[in-house]
Structure 1
Amino acid sequence: YLTSQLSTMLIPAVYIIVTVLAVPLNIIILCMLFRHSGYVCTAIFYANLAISDLLFCITLPFKIVYHLHGNNWMLGETVCKIITINFYGNMYCSVLFLMCISINRYMAIVHPFIYRHLPKQTYTVLGCILVWVIIFIFMIPFSLVKQQFQIPKANVTTCHDVLHRNEQFYFSFHHQILMPVFGFLIPLVVTTFCYISIIRTLNQYEEKWFWYIKITALVLIIFTVCFTPSNVILITHFFYYYTTNNDIFYKHYTVSLCLTSLSCCLNPFLYYLMSRFGNKFNSYQQCTLGVKTDMDTHAQKPSS
């Protein structure tokens, strides 16, 4: 794997494309958010998502050089740990922020009356802070485990590509299993529930909502395609390596990480598509709240 064209040509080529596309797209989205967004809560979530994607993209040039030089790391153990933490931390940050955005939409569309009376801006800021704190805690084990190893036969020094089966390996094993469970599986379940509830709610109304239903389904598909393969293969790889001492699934995992990196290019389009329907959201909420208010007023009138 360390000397194959898969890791020295294909993977860095994908990362180059992602970097070239994702960096300007996310910068444009941040400019749009700070200048034109009228929805504060939405802007806060998407701004954090864009910042997370940009931080993720910062690691890609280092990984590109690493792969192009035959998986030979030349910047030392400390930088290797920083790049590894930044890479995985912001990858799971994207997942958690997508979950937060889905919860926000769920409350706004499925429970608009409750949503109207919530301190939305306060909850949004606290939610973003909580995401960053959770990610920071989950990334601590990467700083405690040796990431750089020399491979004399290949004449290279690897970064996060090799683990020795010692006491550190068993520590890494539990960490690498818990990370996709709490950083992906639970957010996936929550996001799926929110989007299905949104689709069911909007499906009860006029045909004009059909386009938003299609976009919501597309968002869920993108979420699943980008993050599911890498997390499923990661769990499979560690369980298989733990039981058989065979790392045959690792090359599949590194390829699946290329799919994960594509989310940095797709998330800006997510904001663009959803912002086009901002006015429809507002009209829908006003309509729904108006209907509920009328019903409450009716209920309070004494019967004749």
Structure 2
Amino acid sequence: MCVEETMRKVLLLVLISLMLLGVPLPAEGQKPTKGKRNASDTLNPRTFKGRRTEPNSTELNLTALLPGLEVTEHVTEFTRGVISTHLIPAAYIIAIIIGIPANGIILWTVSAKTKAFSTAVLYCSLAVSDLLFLLTLVFKVHYHLNGNDWVFGEAACRVVTACFYGNAYCSIHTLMCIAIKRYMAIVHPFTYKSLPKHPCTICCSLAVWAIFIIAMVPELLIKQTYSLLQPKVTTCHDVLPLDNPSHSFLINYKMALTFLGFAPAFLVTVFTYGSILRELGRSDSDWLHYIKASTLVLVIFSVCFMPSSVIHFAHYVQLYSSGQDHFYMYYSLAVCLCGLHSCLDPFLFALMSKTTRSKRTFMSYRGKHISIST
């Protein structure tokens, strides 16, 4: 009897153990989950939400090389929608058709005919930055027209992403350098005349490029291409799993980059051109071309750069605070306006060159005439 009773107890313990092994136990203080996973259970990407999932047999060909991510319904609708596959690439195509020839002409004109060295360096830097930005749009046009399906590989995606953001910020800060140069020439002409313009201009241009090349290194190091199970496409940079340790730093990094890449340059540019316009208002000379050029710079910042920068920053704040990603759709539209800056920059050079030809002297408040090259 004792043996039989002992065997029964052992069998009972074995059965209980087997049952427990098949049931996942919740962590201490955590309620057990029931039913299907909702949208808040997904992994947070850099842009839209996605979560890792195991593909079935019909999806193995798609995800054999790339990790599969599952996204929410609104991301699927946006990926397949008219805005993403028609409107955005159409805006990029317009920017490419206008911007590449215009910046090419400006680059040739500045390097061949502009006598002022500091002016040539800054505008060559701006034209090169715009051309590189426009070249990235060529790849992005194909990407969007192809249904947001990237076919150029992981390495190309990393380079295009880094060039896209890096050259946009380079353009912003090169425009800021031009604004500071003209502010010094108009508002502080005597100080401007005493400055070593060639070394200062070269150092400023190299510093802008160096800072944003370094800032773009994270974009080159992390994986950017991920396949989606629905729709069956491979995205470039649009869906990234931030739960992954290799991507978890991106929200804080992008928040800092978006804020520092735009806000300081915008404030400096507004201050400098505001001071320039106020100073020119006190002069009896005809500074109409200069006023037009100053206004165009403020338009470029306010219309092209501000919407995308503000919405981009708000997108990361929303991701950080609530994990939601709806702002990214609005940001994608605002980037279309951002691309127009590469079309307006050549017109800025044309206006600035008129001011240089028409006015080469400045009368200070002391009544002295000095020659300036702005």
Same topology, TM > 0.5: yes
3-state DSSP of counterpart to 1:291? coil
1:259 aligned residue (327, 334, 337): 337
Distance change in 2, residues 1:130/1:281 (3 Å) = farther
2:300 aligned residue (222, 225, 230): 222
Query: Greater CA radius of gyration, 1 or 2?
Result: 2
Q: What letter corresponds to residue 240 of structure 1 in structure 2? A: Q
In structure 1, the partner of 2:347 is 269
Shift of residue 209 of structure 1? 2.0
In structure 2, the partner of 1:300 is none
Shift of residue 261 of structure 1? 0.6
Shift of residue 280 of structure 1? 3.9
3-state DSSP of counterpart to 1:158? strand
Q: Check the 8 A contact 2:259/2:313 in 1, yes or no.
A: no
3-state DSSP of counterpart to 1:206? coil
Separation (CA, whole Å) in 2 of partners of 1:220 and 1:281: 22
Separation (CA, whole Å) in 2 of partners of 1:67 and 1:254: 11
Paired residue total: 292
In structure 2, the partner of 1:33 is 110
- Kindly indicate whether residue 169 of structure 2 is the aligned counterpart of residue 131 of structure 1: no
Q: Check the 8 A contact 1:113/1:289 in 2, yes or no.
A: no
- Kindly indicate whether residue 319 of structure 2 is the aligned counterpart of residue 241 of structure 1: yes
The equivalences for 1:1-304 within 5 A come to: 1-166=78-243, 167-206=245-284, 208-284=286-362, 287-288=363-364, 291-292=367-368
Separation (CA, whole Å) in 1 of partners of 2:212 and 2:133: 13
- Greater Cα offset, 104-113 or 167-176: 167-176
Q: What letter corresponds to residue 303 of structure 2 in structure 1? A: V
- Greater Cα offset, 165-174 or 31-40: 165-174
Q: Check the 8 A contact 1:11/1:67 in 2, yes or no.
A: yes
Separation (CA, whole Å) in 2 of partners of 1:59 and 1:267: 17
- Greater Cα offset, 175-184 or 224-233: 175-184
Residue deviations 1:87-136 (CA, integer Å, cap 9, x gap): 11101000010000000001111111011111101110111110110011
Shift of residue 210 of structure 1? 4.0
Residue deviations 1:127-157 (CA, integer Å, cap 9, x gap): 1110110011110111222211110110000
Shift of residue 255 of structure 1? 0.8
Separation (CA, whole Å) in 1 of partners of 2:317 and 2:259: 14
Separation (CA, whole Å) in 1 of partners of 2:130 and 2:289: 27
Shift of residue 213 of structure 1? 2.2
3-state DSSP of counterpart to 2:287? helix
Alignment gaps of 5+ in structure 2? 1-77
3-state DSSP of counterpart to 2:360? helix
Shift of residue 293 of structure 1? 7.7
Q: Check the 8 A contact 2:79/2:147 in 1, yes or no.
A: yes
Q: What letter corresponds to residue 55 of structure 1 in structure 2? A: L
Q: Check the 8 A contact 1:145/1:172 in 2, yes or no.
A: no
Separation (CA, whole Å) in 1 of partners of 2:135 and 2:299: 26
Distance change in 2, residues 1:95/1:130 (3 Å) = same
Q: What letter corresponds to residue 288 of structure 1 in structure 2? A: S
Distance change in 2, residues 1:280/1:112 (3 Å) = farther
Residue deviations 1:1-41 (CA, integer Å, cap 9, x gap): 11111110111111111111100000110111122212211
Separation (CA, whole Å) in 2 of partners of 1:253 and 1:108: 37
Residue deviations 1:144-197 (CA, integer Å, cap 9, x gap): 222111101100000010121313443110111111222110100111111011
Separation (CA, whole Å) in 2 of partners of 1:63 and 1:279: 39
Q: What letter corresponds to residue 230 of structure 1 in structure 2? A: S
Q: Check the 8 A contact 1:147/1:160 in 2, yes or no.
A: yes
- Give TM-score, length-normalised by structure 1: 0.92
CA RMSD of aligned residues (A): 1.7
Residue deviations 1:218-251 (CA, integer Å, cap 9, x gap): 3212222100011100111111122222211111
Q: What letter corresponds to residue 63 of structure 1 in structure 2? A: K
Distance change in 2, residues 1:229/1:293 (3 Å) = closer
Alignment gaps of 5+ in structure 1? 295-304
Higher helix share: 1
- Give TM-score, length-normalised by structure 2: 0.75
Distance change in 2, residues 1:293/1:38 (3 Å) = closer
Distance change in 2, residues 1:95/1:206 (3 Å) = same
